[in-house]
């Protein structure tokens, strides 16, 4: 019935194996998931898994790198823009929401990383780099007079991404809310507030 | 040197025991922490712990109830207000930030609860009740013309509390940012946006 995969058991290539691993890590925690658990879940032997990846940590690295690469790709786009910092910031937020929606299990895993292993510490370092980049844009936009000057830019950046990152807690693809709609909602509230302009 | 506690070992009453338990649950996860771990951390026997509480789950219940009672107390205050729904909503958000800052380890534990035990499921049910209450206020404020009508109220409520709840990820008391300043920052961004009014 099925075409045998080129390597490993039919039905599993590295990509599908990674998908299952990430789902399991999110359910049970990375520390709480063993290669034994993964092999049981996949219905293949551990050596079949090791045929694809050398370690559990390598699965984690592949997963968090996918999330981080998605976010940094948006950041790189943003930097190549001409224009005001607030427009760049809005592009970055919008793009980040789309990455979260698109790569939900991968970003969920990234945001729950606690830093117990080398891979986790590296991921946390890249997250801090991303945070700095957001804070820098907020500062620039404030200097250009487009962002309110009465809040510490680092606090603004964290609250902004607090809103974005909260998606992993409540967004479920089947709820029918498309990524672009959600990105619009986040940008409207974050940039213009939920109060109607005549309301206050 | 120290006055013996009325019950249990000197130095530990139920309150201080709870504080240590919550810290440990937050570090290792509730599932990942045994009464054995807790007794080692406290330097007292397990039976000394059982003198104060019948089970690990009871410690969890006490902890998440403290966080939930704090949030629902603010909600009750809010309901007794005269005035527009948007003012009630702002009071609720401001009060929630203060509860988070005040009871940070307890709210952190609450927000990480996943629902594997009876206590966890009960906590999740109360969290959903709180979410409904926020959504209801957003709906009312929208009906009164004070909240933008172009976003689903449930999405607005979730983004709003996404911002509030993100505090558990990055707020550290020693950073010197007082609770009221932080509550101001959250309300300014959430209600009026980070864009200056002349900026766009």
pLDDT digits (tens, 9 = 90+) for B85-136: 999 999 999 999 999 999 999 999 999 988 889 999 999 999 999 999 999 9
In this predicted structure, the answer to whether residue B176 has a pLDDT above a threshold of 80 is no
pLDDT digits (tens, 9 = 90+) for B8-37: 445 689 999 999 999 999 998 898 899 999
Q: Is B151 on the interface with A (CB under 8 A)?
A: yes
Cα distance between residue B109 and residue B41, in whole Å: 18
DSSP B148: -
Cα distance between residue A170 and residue A161, in whole Å: 15
Taking every pair of Cα atoms in chain A, the longest distance, rounded to a whole number of angstroms, is 65
User: In the prediction, which pLDDT does A177 show?
Assistant: 58
> Residue A191 and residue B194: Cβ atoms within 8 Å?
yes
Cα distance between residue A154 and residue A159, in whole Å: 9
Query: Could you give the C-alpha distances from A192 to A122, A184, B139, in angstroms and in order?
Result: 35, 11, 18
Cβ-Cβ contacts under 8 Å for A187 (sequence gap 6 or more): A90, A93, A94
Mean pLDDT of A155-182: 89
Query: Could you give the C-alpha distances from B194 to A79, A121, B177, in angstroms and in order?
Result: 21, 31, 19
A139: part of which helix (H) or strand (E)? helix A118-143
Cα distance between residue B77 and residue B75, in whole Å: 5
Cβ-Cβ contacts under 8 Å for A100 (sequence gap 6 or more): A107, A164, A165, A167, A168, A171
Give the closest-approach CA distance of B32 to chain A in angstroms. 8
Backbone φ and ψ for A147, nearest 5 degrees, come out as -115, 140
Inter-chain CB pairs, A–B, below 8 Å: 137
- Bridge partners of A147, per DSSP, are B195
Contacts of A152 in chain B (CB under 8 A): 177, 185
**Contact by Cβ (8 Å): A102, A70:** yes
* Tokens found for residue B161: 């509390």
Q: Quickly tell me which residue has 């599932």 as its tokens.
A: B31
Contacts of A190 in chain B (CB under 8 A): 189, 193-194
Distance of CA A21 to the CA centre of its chain: 16
Split at pLDDT 50, 70, 90, the class of A182 is very high
Return the C-alpha torsion angle B120, B125, B126, B131, nearest 10.
130
**Contact by Cβ (8 Å): A127, A66:** no
Domains assigned to chain B: 1-54 (1.10.10.60), 61-192 (1.10.357.10)
Give the closest-approach CA distance of B35 to chain A in angstroms. 18
Cβ-Cβ contacts under 8 Å for B3 (sequence gap 6 or more): B10
Bigger pLDDT: A146 or B82?
Answer: A146
Contacts of A163 in chain B (CB under 8 A): 159, 162-163, 166
């Amino acid at each position: 019935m099925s075409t045998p995969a080129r390597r490993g058991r039919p039905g599993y290539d590295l990509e599908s194996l990674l998908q299952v691993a990430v789902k399991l890590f999110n359910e049970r925690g990375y520390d709480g998931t063993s290669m034994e658990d993964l092999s049981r879940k996949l219905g293949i032997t551990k050596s079949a898994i090791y045929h694809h990846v050398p370690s559990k940590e390598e699965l984690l690295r592949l997963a968090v790198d996918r999330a981080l690469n998605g976010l940094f790709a948006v950041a790189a786009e943003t930097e190549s823009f001409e224009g005001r910092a607030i427009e760049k910031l809005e592009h970055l937020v919008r793009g980040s929401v789309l990455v979260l929606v698109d790569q939900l299990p991968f970003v969920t895993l990234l945001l729950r990383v606690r830093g117990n292993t080398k891979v986790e510490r590296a991921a946390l370092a890249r997250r801090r780099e991303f945070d700095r980049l957001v804070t820098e844009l907020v500062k620039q936009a404030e200097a250009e007079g487009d962002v309110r000057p009465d809040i510490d830019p680092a606090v603004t950046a964290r609250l902004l991404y607090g809103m974005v990152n909260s998606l992993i807690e409540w967004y479920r693809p089947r709820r029918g809310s498309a990524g672009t709609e959600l990105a619009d909602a986040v940008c409207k509230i974050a940039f213009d507030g939920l109060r109607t302009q005549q309301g206050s």
